[in-house]
Chains A and B, each alone.
Chain A
Amino acid sequence: MSSKRPKSKEASKIKGKGHPDYIFPLVLTSATQELFGCQADEDVTGENPYKLLKKEDIIKDMKTRASVSDFSPVKQLVLDYPEDELLLVFDRDFTYGQSFYLVLTVEAKENILKPSVEGDEEQMEHEEKEEEMIVPKTPESHPWISLGSEQEIKEESVTESRPRLRYKISPLQRRCGAPVCFSDRSAQDGKEGFVECPSYQDKSFSIREMEKHTAIQASSDTKNSSTQTLWKHPKNIWTQYEPREFSLEEKEHHLRSKNLKNFITSVLIRFEISLQQNYITDVFCDDWTALCEDEGALTGKTETQLKEYQSFMDLHFSKEKTISHVHWHPTISGVIAVAMTERLSLEERIDNSTKLLLNPSYILFWNFTDPINPQLQLECPDDVLCFQFCPSDPNIIAGGCMNGQIVLWDISAHVERLQDTRSGGKNISNKLDKNETPVVRYCAVSGIENGHKAPITDIQWLPETFELSKLGIPVENASRVSVQLVTCAPDCCVLFWDLRPPRVVSHSLTEVKQKSEEKPLENPHGVPNTFKHLNLTWKPFIRVSLPKLGSSGEYSPLKFSLRDNTVDCPSGDKPLQNAEREEGCGFAQLRVPSAKQQKPMENISTKLYVGTEDGELVYTDWKMEKDNDSGRLLSTKPIHRFLVHDTLVNTVTRSPFFKDIILTVGSFSFAIWKEGVTNGPILMSAFSRTMRTVGHWSLSRPAVFFIGKEDGSIEIWDLLQNTHEPSQSQNISSAAITCIRTSCISSKQHLLAVSDRLGTLHILQIPWTLRRSSNSERQIVRKYFEKEEERLEYFEKRQIKHEKKKKEMEAEEQRKKTELVMPLKQEEELEAEALKEYEQFLALEKDILKNMGLLNETEDSSDM
């Protein structure tokens, strides 16, 4: 096989140089050359090597000389040649191995001829013309022309030159299956024990490494070293400085220097100018914020109506009953107390008196969370016409009854219940108790003999800041607890009551000891012992009677109003009391202090306004005077008395914003008074068709008050808008309104409690417009009142002037009359008088002329 290789190499060598198929190298003898006319170097040269031979000639030659002919190897090819002429090329350089070669195909012939021709032509063209631009052509695909590479591939491939030899080796037949006996043999026995194949260094395989790849890494030297820093522990350091100051001498030195004086005098003017500027315009007044008064009435609907919030009507207790008085609980919000009385006239009362005894009246406590069941019931001995919570202790309630007694309740035991129900009754265990309203019996009633003889129509607590002494002088209240009450009734007196036990002059110590050792009696019905000392023995300590001015008799008060009453006006200046008071301070422990210890208070006004049954408003002083003759204490005569209303006065209330403005409501009209103005009411309303039953100031707006009417409607009067008619009128119920009370639960919710004659309590929400007062409303209203006051004064002055004028006019008339009576003088006398005058005139004329020198000399000469 290997021998083939060099052969193929040689063949390829030849072939590599060698001719393509269409070229056939020929050797042409000189005879043939002569014959065909292609002698070397004569007919065909290197420059013109091509010779076209005719096919017929070649065939002819072959026929004539048969095998001797040079063309014999190409005999077949020539015969196959399609055309007539064959190309014979003189190969001077022996490129194909012989001196001549024959082109066997037409195409090759063409190619050889044309390119040479073309090449000559091109060369000629090149010589003549300039170089042409060779336009690059995209190569066109030609069919693959074998250049002999196939042979190489064939030679490279390994093919079998001969069929493979097969040998089958098998052991002898007899050896198979024969028993064999194996024996051991040590490997180290002899040399043939084992075959060793040690390694040896084969020199033919030693390769000298010319190149070697190694990796190198450069790294820096690392060095470990250490240092130590000084650690200084932190220390607190402080400095202290003080401002530089001059010593006294230096200061004085400076003060004395002339420089200072000059400086001050020069600078003074500037200061005065700027101070003046500040006076002229208030620099700290921000006009922008003061411009807007209402903080955006952004509520979409301008609500002006009172919206019904809730209404309470007790089916069990308030049948045929009416509400006489309503009072909000001062501390617990959402709780309101209502006094129920019989809705009967006097005659009916007398007729049904026996039945009434069996039907006790109550004060009911309502809570907003439970509109059906009242929370608490206070039992009353008789119908309660008015009541009030004690301002210092909201668990004490005082009420005035129809029979002239004062009743006291203590609800301390049930306060948790009232407060608990506010949370909505979360305790289920309390539900059982809820179905029954607890009844609280009264703690104490006043004695009948010394009390009022007529139904008590008004009751008020005195504020805890002062109390009254025996004479009615307000003194300082050491205990800071409200201890005194004021009541009035149509029996013509105003009574002052004290809650503390009266001073008992103890004659001996033993008596006192005995009393203290006695165990207190347990009260039935679980009534607390708060007022045990008062029960049935209570009597007033001051009795103020109201004798009539200018006539005998007395006024019968229905309502009164004190100046320093803080119960109805929570917006007063006095700070709010702490709700938690010492429980141990019971009223029984308080003692009336001796008169010497008490310090009289100067600035408490002792005057009160009283509205009477006859429609008068009486301004009187409650201080008692000692009558010199009898030594008894008598009350003074009232200071003023105004008859304004035609029928009984049903409301006398003070404005919560102005201490001296009082609203009185009669049946058909109402009036606003100012304390100190004695001419008359500041404002007197027009007479209305329906009776006005009750009036109440608004707690949030100084100019607003509410009037309840007989037909069950409420008039809302806004003094800033209209003074001749109410700004709003709204119908609440069908029966007459008996009481109106306001309460401010929160700044967003102001409620109006309105009770009517049918026994229903309506709770209404006051709309935003009525509860939001503008900043300057108070001032405006005050100015309005002042203006009205001035008007009254002016009227009076005018009245006086008018009277004066009238008097003067009358006097003049009188004088005129007396003048006409004078007697006529006689005529003669008149004439005599005239003559005398004339003579006097003549004398005077003479004198003047004489003096002037105009008198005639003839007269003078005549005399001579």
Chain B
Amino acid sequence: MLQAEVEETIKRIQSQKGVQGIIIVNAEGIPIKSTLDNSSTVQYAGNVHQLLMKARGMVRDIDPQNDLTFLRVRSKKNEIMIAPGIEMYTQFLLG
């Protein structure tokens, strides 16, 4: 049941215009679910995890009561949106 909901939500985002793929990663950076191929998933997961740790650390360092809610990395060709969970999951999709 819950799985179905999750699937549905993922499909909903995936169907939006301009979205190339979605990856769900756990707290350690290990991908759980992805709509891209395996090698790309692994590459993205590894790189994004480090960036996310750094960004979160920075935000927390400046103000310990603050926390990172959303991270957008915009490059020349596309944009990566990263949403960290509360110590649990991170989801990012490529626009």
A residues bordering B, Cβ < 8 Å?
243-246, 251-252, 254-261, 263-265, 267-268, 270-272, 274-275, 278-279, 283-284
B95 / chain A contacts, CB cutoff of 8 Å: 274-275, 278
Mark contacts of B64-79 with chain A using CB atoms, 8 A cut-off: 1 yes-contact digit, 0 otherwise: 0000011010101101
A257 / chain B contacts, CB cutoff of 8 Å: 2
B79 / chain A contacts, CB cutoff of 8 Å: 278, 283
A263 / chain B contacts, CB cutoff of 8 Å: 85-86, 88-89, 91
- Tell me how many residues of B have a C-beta within 8 Å of chain A: 38
For B85, the closest partner residue in chain A by CB is A263
A132 to B57, CA, bound (A): 91
Residue in A246, A268, A279 whose CB lies within 8 Å of B32: A246
Excluding A251-B33, A259-B88, A274-B95, 7 further A-B contacts by CB distance (< 8 Å) are A245-B31, A254-B26, A255-B32, A261-B2, A274-B70, A275-B81, A278-B79
Residue in B17, B42, B46, B72 whose CB lies within 8 Å of A274: B72
Whether the pair B16, A275 counts as a contact (CB closer than 8 A) is yes
B10 / chain A contacts, CB cutoff of 8 Å: 264
Leading 4 A-B pairs by shortest Cβ distance: A267-B83, A243-B42, A263-B85, A263-B89
A251-B33, A260-B24, A260-B89 known; A284 and B19 CB under 8 Å? no
- Give 9 pairs: A residue, B residue, CB < 8 Å, sorted on A: A244-B28, A246-B32, A255-B32, A259-B88, A259-B89, A261-B5, A264-B91, A271-B13, A272-B13
> B3 to nearest A CB, angstroms?
5
Residue B52 at the A interface, CB < 8 A? Answer: no
A261-B6, A263-B85, A264-B6 known; A244 and B69 CB under 8 Å? no
Whether the pair A279, B17 counts as a contact (CB closer than 8 A) is yes
> A166 to nearest B CB, angstroms?
121
B91 / chain A contacts, CB cutoff of 8 Å: 263-264, 267, 271
A284 to B46, CA, bound (A): 26
> A816 to nearest B CB, angstroms?
60
Residue B45 at the A interface, CB < 8 A? Answer: yes
For A246, the closest partner residue in chain B by CB is B30
A270 / chain B contacts, CB cutoff of 8 Å: 69-70, 83
B6 / chain A contacts, CB cutoff of 8 Å: 255, 260-261, 264
> A266 to nearest B CB, angstroms?
8
Whether the pair A245, B30 counts as a contact (CB closer than 8 A) is yes
> A197 to nearest B CB, angstroms?
107
Residue B93 at the A interface, CB < 8 A? Answer: yes
A252 to B79, CA, bound (A): 28
Whether the pair B2, A258 counts as a contact (CB closer than 8 A) is yes
For B31, the closest partner residue in chain A by CB is A245
Within 8 A of A (CB), among B1-46: 2-3, 5-6, 9-10, 12-13, 16-19, 24, 26, 28, 30-33, 42, 45-46
A271 to B69, CA, bound (A): 11
A279 / chain B contacts, CB cutoff of 8 Å: 17-18
A251-B32, A260-B89, A279-B17 known; A274 and B2 CB under 8 Å? no
A252 to B13, CA, bound (A): 20
A265 / chain B contacts, CB cutoff of 8 Å: 9
Total A-B residue contacts, Cβ distance less than 8 Å: 84
For B75, the closest partner residue in chain A by CB is A284
> B1 to nearest A CB, angstroms?
9
B74 / chain A contacts, CB cutoff of 8 Å: 283
For B34, the closest partner residue in chain A by CB is A251
B3 / chain A contacts, CB cutoff of 8 Å: 252, 255-256
For A251, the closest partner residue in chain B by CB is B32
> B38 to nearest A CB, angstroms?
8
Whether the pair A244, B30 counts as a contact (CB closer than 8 A) is yes
Whether the pair A275, B2 counts as a contact (CB closer than 8 A) is no
A57 to B38, CA, bound (A): 152
A61 to B79, CA, bound (A): 146
A753 to B42, CA, bound (A): 61
For A277, the closest partner residue in chain B by CB is B72
For B39, the closest partner residue in chain A by CB is A243
Residue in A259, A264, A275 whose CB lies within 8 Å of B9: A264
For A268, the closest partner residue in chain B by CB is B9
> A327 to nearest B CB, angstroms?
44
B70 / chain A contacts, CB cutoff of 8 Å: 270, 274
For A265, the closest partner residue in chain B by CB is B9
Query: B19, B32, B86: which has the most chain A beta carbons within 10 Å?
Result: B32
A271 / chain B contacts, CB cutoff of 8 Å: 13, 81, 83, 91, 93
A258 / chain B contacts, CB cutoff of 8 Å: 2
Whether the pair B28, A274 counts as a contact (CB closer than 8 A) is no
A251 to B72, CA, bound (A): 26
Whether the pair B13, A268 counts as a contact (CB closer than 8 A) is yes
> B27 to nearest A CB, angstroms?
11
A257 to B89, CA, bound (A): 11
> B56 to nearest A CB, angstroms?
15
A251 / chain B contacts, CB cutoff of 8 Å: 32-33
A260 / chain B contacts, CB cutoff of 8 Å: 2, 6, 24, 32, 88-89
For B81, the closest partner residue in chain A by CB is A274
Whether the pair A243, B46 counts as a contact (CB closer than 8 A) is yes
> B48 to nearest A CB, angstroms?
13
> A4 to nearest B CB, angstroms?
112
A255 to B2, CA, bound (A): 8
B85 / chain A contacts, CB cutoff of 8 Å: 263, 267
Whether the pair B45, A275 counts as a contact (CB closer than 8 A) is no
B28 / chain A contacts, CB cutoff of 8 Å: 244
> B39 to nearest A CB, angstroms?
9
For B72, the closest partner residue in chain A by CB is A274
A278 to B89, CA, bound (A): 24
For B38, the closest partner residue in chain A by CB is A245
> B60 to nearest A CB, angstroms?
19
> B42 to nearest A CB, angstroms?
4
B30 / chain A contacts, CB cutoff of 8 Å: 243-246
For A276, the closest partner residue in chain B by CB is B16
Whether the pair A245, B42 counts as a contact (CB closer than 8 A) is yes
> A262 to nearest B CB, angstroms?
9
A720 to B86, CA, bound (A): 59
A264 to B91, CA, bound (A): 8
A252 / chain B contacts, CB cutoff of 8 Å: 3
A259 to B5, CA, bound (A): 13
A245 to B88, CA, bound (A): 16
B72 / chain A contacts, CB cutoff of 8 Å: 274
Query: A252, A259, A263, A283: which has the most chain B beta carbons within 10 Å?
Result: A263
> B77 to nearest A CB, angstroms?
8
For A259, the closest partner residue in chain B by CB is B88
B42 / chain A contacts, CB cutoff of 8 Å: 243, 245
> A270 to nearest B CB, angstroms?
5
> A44 to nearest B CB, angstroms?
116
A270 to B13, CA, bound (A): 11
> A252 to nearest B CB, angstroms?
7
A50 to B93, CA, bound (A): 135
A675 to B19, CA, bound (A): 38
A275 to B46, CA, bound (A): 24
For A244, the closest partner residue in chain B by CB is B30
> A356 to nearest B CB, angstroms?
68
A261 to B31, CA, bound (A): 16
A289 to B42, CA, bound (A): 36
B24 / chain A contacts, CB cutoff of 8 Å: 260, 264
A259-B88, A263-B91, A271-B93 known; A278 and B18 CB under 8 Å? yes
> B53 to nearest A CB, angstroms?
16
A267 to B83, CA, bound (A): 7
B89 / chain A contacts, CB cutoff of 8 Å: 259-260, 263-264
Mark contacts of B46-60 with chain A using CB atoms, 8 A cut-off: 1 yes-contact digit, 0 otherwise: 100000000000000
A258 to B2, CA, bound (A): 7
> A240 to nearest B CB, angstroms?
15
A251 to B81, CA, bound (A): 22
A267 / chain B contacts, CB cutoff of 8 Å: 83, 85, 91
A283 to B75, CA, bound (A): 10
A261 / chain B contacts, CB cutoff of 8 Å: 2, 5-6
> B67 to nearest A CB, angstroms?
13
For B32, the closest partner residue in chain A by CB is A254
A244 / chain B contacts, CB cutoff of 8 Å: 28, 30
